[in-house]
Structure 1
Amino acid sequence: MTRLLPTSTAGSLPKPSWLAEPEVLWSPWKLEGEALVAGKQDALRVSLQEQQHAGIDIVSDGEQSRQHFVTTFIEHLNGVDFEKRETVKIRDRYEASVPSVVGPVSRQKPVFVEDAKFLRSQTDQPIKWALPGPMTMVDTLFDGHYKSREKLAWEFAKILNEEAKELEAAGVDIIQFDEPAFNVFFDEVNEWGIATLERAIEGLKCETAIHICYGYGIKANTDWKNTLGSEWRQYEKAFPKLQQSNIDIVSLECHNSHVPMELIELIRGKKVMVGAIDVASNTIETPEEVAETLRKALQFVDADKLYPCTNCGMAPLSREVARGKLQALSAGAAIVRKELEAQR
């Protein structure tokens, strides 16, 4: 990216009401067969256009073709039985009925590559594609086969690496791995979490990112956040090792969170996607609020490495609110861009 402060989203955008139930996570598709294939492509076009109209610099598919950021990827793999479900605690926060790993996991064919090619055909802008990270995939399943979170994570890392290489070949500029589990399982992050992430990005020439957030604005997440006290220092546990890793960009939550901004200092040298939009609220930020978050971040990250972003995905929000937030992100970045250019 040559532009200063290039904007992007952390992940999902709301789906049109004709494709899935609005403002609902895991919403079932309203179409099927060929109509669903066409509907997902139309939704991707709409999502892309909304990003472009709002002035977003690095665009994505808005995750229009997936029901969920983790399970849609897992659905395409061998070794996981979606009929055989078990209840597990996800991210040590809430219980969910999840599929079971019943045998060796493998990927028979690409999962998102055709979607990525379609997005690439629709725009000349830089595109970012999100994949679930190995640890977060492990944390979204019941493992009845490997009986080891670490072993399963290494297997997923190999599979993700295959997918990532094909996404790169399809023209994706940034591949982002979503790892909300990095904010919870600190020992595992440092023992094998970052190592498995390194395996997932092995051999890639495109830019790579890791997105670590405090989750969608759903009740289980907001309840958990209320227990974290006045300062959220979870990033402190993973950042020193991430700073030493081969990941190019670290995406984190900042606006309306209790994350001390100085923690960004721990990843000095990396590009930083600073979450300047709160996705757990329907209140649309003003451009000035966004600008203020970015100014604070600039105390700890060089301007040429600051990428204004959203805190997390916006799937549970209304399209109108999401649109307003995207516009605020662009306008806020423009304010600070102008200030920086005036200082040159």
Structure 2
Amino acid sequence: MTTLLPTSTAGSLPKPSWLAQPETLWSPWKLQGDELTSGKRDALALALQQQQQAGIDIVSDGEQSRQHFVTSFIEHLNGVDFVNRKTVRIRNRYDASVPTVVGPVSRQKPVFVEDATFLRRQTTQPIKWALPGPMTMIDTLYDGYYQSREKLAWEFAKILNQEAKELVAAGVDIIQFDEPAFNVFFDEVNDWGIACLERAIEGLNCETAVHICYGYGIKANTDWKQTLGSEWRQYEQIFPKLQQSNIDIISLECHNSRVPLELLALIRGKKVMVGAIDVATDTIETPDEVAATLRKALQYVDADKLYPCTNCGMAPLARHIANGKLQALTAGAAIVRQELQRR
């Protein structure tokens, strides 16, 4: 990126009301068959326009064709049964009914490549595409076959690598792996989680990112945050090993969080997507609030490596609120960009 402080989103944007229920996570589709296929494309084009009108530099699909950031990928794989579901504890936080791994997992065909090809045709801007990370995938399933979190994660890493290579061939510039599980299972992250992620990025000739947030603004997550005390130091346990990894960009939750920003010094040298927009509130940040978060981060991140971003996805928000937040992000980044250029 030649732009200083290039802006982007963590991933999801609100879906249009004709495609799915607004302000609802993982809402069922309102269309079927060919109508659903064309509806998803229309929504993708709208999400791109929404980002462009707000002045976002690195655009995405807004996850318009996905019901869920993990299972919408998994449902295209062999070896997973979506009918016989089991209840599991997700990230030690809440119970959910999830699909079951019943045999060897494999990918028969590309999952998101057609969508990425469509998006690439609509814009010359850099595109970032989010995929679920291996550890977050295994935490969103019941494993009735491998009986080993690590074994299943390595299988998913191979599959993700196949998908990522085809996304890059379709014109994607940054592949982002969503790993909220990295904020929970610290021993596993350090023992094999980061190595597994490196398997997923093996041989990719594009930039790679890992997004590690504290989750969507849903009650289970906001309740969990209340138990974390006055300082959220989870990142401290995984940053040293991430700093040594082959991942190019680390995407973090910073605004309105209790993360001590001095922890960013532990990943000095990496590019950092600094979450400067709180997705757990309907209050739209002012450009000055965004700028203040970015200035704090600049104490620990070199200016040419700082990418202003949202804390997490914005799927559960009303559309006008998400728009306002995108505009605040770009306006806040512009303030700091001008300050840096004056220096």
TM over 0.5: yes
Matched, 1:140 2:146: no
SS in structure 2 of the partner of residue 87 of structure 1: strand
Matched, 1:64 2:64: yes
For the residues of structure 2 that align with 1:46 and 1:86, how far apart are their CA atoms?
36
For the residues of structure 2 that align with 1:38 and 1:207, how far apart are their CA atoms?
30
SS in structure 2 of the partner of residue 274 of structure 1: strand
Structure 2 counterpart of 1:76: 76
For the residues of structure 2 that align with 1:11 and 1:184, how far apart are their CA atoms?
21
Matched, 1:227 2:227: yes
State the 1:312 CA deviation.
0.1
Structure 2 counterpart of 1:217: 217
- 1:193-272 to 2 correspondence within 5 Å? 193-272=193-272
Matched, 1:26 2:26: yes
State the 1:84 CA deviation.
1.0
SS in structure 2 of the partner of residue 40 of structure 1: helix
For the residues of structure 2 that align with 1:249 and 1:310, how far apart are their CA atoms?
14
Q: Which amino acid aligns with 2:282?
A: N
For the residues of structure 1 that align with 2:198 and 2:152, how far apart are their CA atoms?
15
Structure 1 counterpart of 2:291: 291
State the 1:55 CA deviation.
0.3
For the residues of structure 1 that align with 2:226 and 2:202, how far apart are their CA atoms?
37
Note the residue ranges of structure 1 that are not aligned, 5 or more in a row.
none
For the residues of structure 1 that align with 2:341 and 2:219, how far apart are their CA atoms?
41
For the residues of structure 2 that align with 1:37 and 1:82, how far apart are their CA atoms?
21
Count of residue pairs the alignment pairs up: 343
Q: Deviations over 1:277-325 (max 9, x none)?
A: 0000000000000000000000000000000000000000000000000
For the residues of structure 2 that align with 1:143 and 1:23, how far apart are their CA atoms?
31
For the residues of structure 2 that align with 1:37 and 1:85, how far apart are their CA atoms?
26
Structure 2 counterpart of 1:304: 304
State the 1:92 CA deviation.
0.3
Q: Which amino acid aligns with 2:328?
A: A
For the residues of structure 2 that align with 1:200 and 1:132, how far apart are their CA atoms?
11
Structure 2 counterpart of 1:160: 160
State the 1:28 CA deviation.
0.4
Q: Which amino acid aligns with 1:183?
A: N
SS in structure 2 of the partner of residue 187 of structure 1: helix
For the residues of structure 2 that align with 1:52 and 1:263, how far apart are their CA atoms?
32
Structure 1 counterpart of 2:281: 281
SS in structure 2 of the partner of residue 222 of structure 1: helix
For the residues of structure 1 that align with 2:52 and 2:240, how far apart are their CA atoms?
35
Matched, 1:341 2:337: no
Q: Which amino acid aligns with 2:258?
A: H
Q: Deviations over 1:109-158 (max 9, x none)?
A: 00000000000000000000000000000000000000000000000000
For the residues of structure 1 that align with 2:200 and 2:84, how far apart are their CA atoms?
27
State the 1:46 CA deviation.
0.6
Structure 1 counterpart of 2:43: 43
For the residues of structure 1 that align with 2:265 and 2:151, how far apart are their CA atoms?
32
For the residues of structure 2 that align with 1:53 and 1:320, how far apart are their CA atoms?
13
* Cα-Cα RMSD: 0.3
Structure 2 counterpart of 1:3: 3
State the 1:238 CA deviation.
0.9
Structure 2 counterpart of 1:103: 103
For the residues of structure 1 that align with 2:78 and 2:62, how far apart are their CA atoms?
26
Q: Deviations over 1:72-125 (max 9, x none)?
A: 000000000000111000000000000000000000000000000000000000
For the residues of structure 2 that align with 1:174 and 1:53, how far apart are their CA atoms?
21
For the residues of structure 1 that align with 2:31 and 2:150, how far apart are their CA atoms?
38
SS in structure 2 of the partner of residue 192 of structure 1: helix
